[in-house]
């Protein structure tokens, strides 16, 4: 649970008064224009950076304000998948993934080997133990970083732009791996990305940072049908709107754009909401998806009509496909 989190570097406020709860076992995505501090937010969640105000609570430990000893222990409940994989170039893939176990546990090498090989299989890297990072493709390095994030059995997995530098095919493969991992271990996941395809198909929930605020956080369908101008512009990749090259536009620029748009262009259609990715056949049902469906059912009357319609359509499509639960 995040309460009133504010972070600044000197006189520059990065974001302020951010409050949200990552639902247990669900997959969430955090969007936002470049420079809105999404990576800073991830590092603040695990205590690598100290916000000026607020709290980050995980099972009673405050990652912002508690003593370093408690924060260090609680950090083991998180797994962090870095943007570039953050692998040690001189170590084999096996030793890279084994590193947290050797550093933070007293497990025997036989136990470490069992865990490492299981996690490598989980992310599609079985048989690649002896390779060095320099011999791996970009997608393999990303999956190696994910395997290393999994070896300590984290309760929360944070993924920093896992799609960066990947082509669409590798991005789709990695998206499926993330969903399958969530199905197998039921960990809470937060993915930072700019990729609208990931945001539209992977998560249960979407959040967005803009102009130092968390302007949206809620069910995938509710955010994808949002009429907030910044959210709408970002999801469409449209140059017309409040987001500019320096993140935000002044009032005069916005008024000029609005007048031009009203004269020359009809209102664009909403993006069609695709089906959410499901676990690969043979995987267990995603418990986070089931809990999410129950949670959405309770809040459905409070959601906008477009969101309600999208959720109902998704439920109908799942039932036709023979799927379980799901909103």
pLDDT in tens, 174-202: 999 999 999 999 999 999 998 999 999 99
Asked whether the predicted pLDDT for residue 233 surpasses 80, the reply is yes
Percent of the chain with pLDDT over 90: 69
Between residues 256 and 319, which one has the greater pLDDT?
Answer: 319
- Least confident range from 36-45, 77-86, 154-163, 229-238: namely 77-86
Predicted local confidence at residue 252, as pLDDT: 61
pLDDT in tens, 282-322: 999 999 999 999 999 999 998 888 889 888 887 777 777 66
Asked whether the predicted pLDDT for residue 271 surpasses 60, the reply is no
Asked whether the predicted pLDDT for residue 130 surpasses 70, the reply is yes
Helices (H), the chain: 38-45, 68-75, 93-104, 109-122, 138-150, 168-185, 196-201, 220-224, 229-236, 251-264, 287-299, 305-321
Predicted local confidence at residue 165, as pLDDT: 87
The average confidence (pLDDT) of the chain is 88
Question: Per-residue pLDDT averaged across 243-249, rounded?
Answer: 66
Question: Per-residue pLDDT averaged across 54-64, rounded?
Answer: 93
Q: Is the dihedral of CA 141, 143, 146, 151 positive or negative?
A: negative
Instruction: Read off the pLDDT band of 259 (50, 70, 90).
Output: low
Asked whether the predicted pLDDT for residue 264 surpasses 50, the reply is no
Predicted local confidence at residue 287, as pLDDT: 96
Complete domains list, the chain, with CATH? 2-220 (3.40.50.300)
Q: Starting at the earlier edge strand, list the strands of the sheet with 156-160.
A: 78-81, 156-160, 188-192, 27-31, 205-210, 213-219
Asked whether the predicted pLDDT for residue 46 surpasses 70, the reply is yes
Do 159 and 203 contact (CB within 8 A), yes or no?
no
Do 178 and 195 contact (CB within 8 A), yes or no?
no
Q: Starting at the earlier edge strand, list the strands of the sheet with 2-9.
A: 12-20, 2-9, 53-58, 61-62
pLDDT in tens, 108-121: 999 999 999 999 99
Distance (Å, whole) CA 30 – CA 42: 10
* pTM of the shown model: 0.89
Task: Report the chain's terminal Cα–Cα distance, integer Å.
Answer: 23
139-144: which pairs have CB atoms within 8 A and are 24 or more residues apart? 139/166, 139/170, 139/173, 139/174, 141/84, 141/85, 141/87, 142/81, 142/85, 142/166, 142/174, 143/174, 143/177, 144/85, 144/87, 144/93, 144/96, 144/97
Asked whether the predicted pLDDT for residue 327 surpasses 50, the reply is no
| CA-based nearest residue to 120, from 94, 86, 87 | 94
């Amino acid at each position: 649970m995040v309460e009133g989190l504010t972070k600044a570097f000197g006189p520059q406020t990065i974001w302020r008064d951010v409050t949200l709860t990552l639902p247990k076992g669900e997959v969430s995505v955090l969007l936002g224009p470049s420079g809105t501090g999404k990576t800073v937010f991830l590092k603040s969640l695990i205590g690598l950076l100290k916000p000026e105000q607020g709290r980050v609570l995980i099972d009673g430990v405050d990652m912002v304000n508690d003593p370093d000893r408690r924060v260090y222990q609680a950090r083991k409940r998180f797994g962090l998948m870095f943007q570039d994989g953050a692998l040690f170039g001189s170590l084999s893939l096996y030793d890279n993934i084994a590193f947290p176990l050797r550093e933070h546990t007293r497990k025997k090498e036989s136990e470490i080997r069992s865990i490492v090989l299981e996690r490598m299989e989980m992310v599609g890297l079985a048989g690649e133990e002896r390779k060095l990072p320099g011999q791996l493709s970009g997608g393999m390095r990303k999956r190696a970083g994910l395997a290393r994030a999994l070896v300590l059995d984290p309760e929360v997995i944070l993924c920093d732009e896992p799609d960066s530098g990947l082509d669409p095919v590798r991005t789709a493969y990695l998206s499926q791996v993330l969903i399958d991992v969530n199905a197998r271990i039921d960990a809470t996941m937060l993915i930072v990305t700019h990729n609208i395809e990931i945001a539209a198909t992977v998560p249960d929930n979407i959040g967005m940072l803009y102009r130092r605020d968390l302007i949206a956080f809620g069910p995938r369908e509710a955010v994808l049908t949002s009429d907030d101008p910044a959210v709408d512009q970002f999801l469409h990749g449209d140059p017309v709107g409040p987001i500019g090259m320096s993140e935000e536009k002044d009032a005069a620029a916005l008024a000029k754009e609005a007048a031009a748009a009203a004269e020359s262009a009809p209102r664009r259609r909403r993006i069609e909401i695709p089906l959410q990715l499901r676990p690969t056949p043979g995987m267990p049902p995603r418990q986070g998806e089931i809990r999410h469906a129950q949670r959405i059912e309770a809040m459905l009357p409070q959601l906008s009509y477009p969101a309600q319609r999208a959720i109902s359509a998704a439920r109908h499509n799942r039932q036709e496909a023979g799927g379980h639960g799901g909103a």
